[in-house]
């Protein structure tokens, strides 16, 4: 039996609904959970449960996003457009904070610590969510209905090229 942290049980219950109209606030709930636990994870006395909640919430977001990206209907495209508009910036913020913190503290010794492994997993999940959304949007920006997503797509590809590379000491 999996014990879900507070708040995620609502998201999982929403996913069980057969009709997407029965889960209108799923993404709002996920955003609230991510923002709350992101703050708890990076505070001076981090909550040990915050990392677990972040990983699970990002996994739910990634799973739902992957499913929506595969939909080829106009309703599915409009839903993804709205999701991209809401999530592009928060996911960018989350990923960039994790990346900066991870790259600044990454050494051959630190990579063996469970906290560093957790940061890498969270950053990876945030990047997967972000890249899934924005690569989908990239295929749509030539359509006038999706042209407003072009700045987010450009920022995404520009930020990918700025990541530092260095060998571990």
pLDDT tens sequence across 38-49: 888 888 787 879
Counts of helices then strands in the chain (DSSP H, E):
6, 0
Closest CA to 92 of 120, 127, 125, 118: 127
> Mean per-residue pLDDT for 119-128?
88
Say if 20 falls within a structural domain.
no
Say if 11 falls within a structural domain.
no
Instruction: Output the pLDDT for position 75.
Output: 76
- Whole-prediction pTM: 0.75
> Mean per-residue pLDDT for 17-24?
53
Whether 50 and 41 have beta carbons less than 8 Å apart is answered as: yes
Give the ranges where 16-113 is alpha helix by DSSP (H). 26-41, 48-69, 74-105
pLDDT over threshold 60, residue 3 = no
**Which of 3-7, 68-72, 124-128, 129-133 comes out lowest in average pLDDT?**
3-7
Whether 8 and 52 have beta carbons less than 8 Å apart is answered as: no
Say if 28 falls within a structural domain.
no
Number of C-beta neighbours around residue 66 at 10 A = 13
Q: What is the spatial distance between Cα 143 and Cα 33, in angstroms, rounded to a whole number?
A: 33
Whether 48 and 115 have beta carbons less than 8 Å apart is answered as: no
Q: What is the spatial distance between Cα 123 and Cα 146, in angstroms, rounded to a whole number?
A: 27
Closest CA to 37 of 83, 86, 68, 4: 4
What is the share, in percent, of the chain residues with pLDDT greater than 90? Answer: 5
Number of C-beta neighbours around residue 83 at 10 A = 21
Say if 61 falls within a structural domain.
yes
pLDDT over threshold 50, residue 1 = no
Strands, E, within the chain: which ranges? Answer: none
Instruction: Output the pLDDT for position 167.
Output: 55
If one counts the domains in the chain, the total is 1
Say if 5 falls within a structural domain.
no
Say if 118 falls within a structural domain.
yes
What is the share, in percent, of the chain residues with pLDDT greater than 70? Answer: 80
Q: Which range is most confident: 7-16, 81-90, 109-118, 125-134?
A: 125-134
Say if 108 falls within a structural domain.
yes
- Residue numbers of the domain that contains 156: 54-162
Q: What is the spatial distance between Cα 129 and Cα 148, in angstroms, rounded to a whole number?
A: 20
Residue 10 tokens, joined: 């609502």
Say if 1 falls within a structural domain.
no
């Amino acid at each position: 039996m999996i014990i879900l942290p507070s708040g995620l049980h609502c998201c999982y219950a929403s996913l069980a609904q057969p009709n997407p109209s029965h889960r209108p606030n799923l993404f709002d709930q996920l955003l609230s959970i991510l923002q709350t636990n992101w703050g708890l994870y990076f505070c001076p006395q981090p909550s040990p449960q915050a990392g677990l909640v972040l990983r699970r919430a990002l996994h739910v977001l990634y799973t739902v996003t992957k499913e929506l990206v595969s939909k080829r209907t106009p309703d599915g495209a409009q839903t993804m457009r709205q999701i991209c508009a809401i999530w592009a910036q928060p996911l960018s913020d989350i990923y960039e904070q994790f990346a900066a913190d991870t790259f600044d503290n990454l050494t051959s010794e630190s990579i063996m610590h469970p906290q560093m492994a957790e940061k890498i997993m969270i950053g990876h999940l945030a990047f997967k969510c972000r890249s899934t959304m924005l690569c989908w949007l990239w295929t749509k920006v030539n359509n006038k209905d999706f042209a407003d997503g072009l700045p987010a797509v450009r920022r995404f590809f520009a930020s990918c090229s700025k990541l530092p590379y260095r060998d571990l000491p």
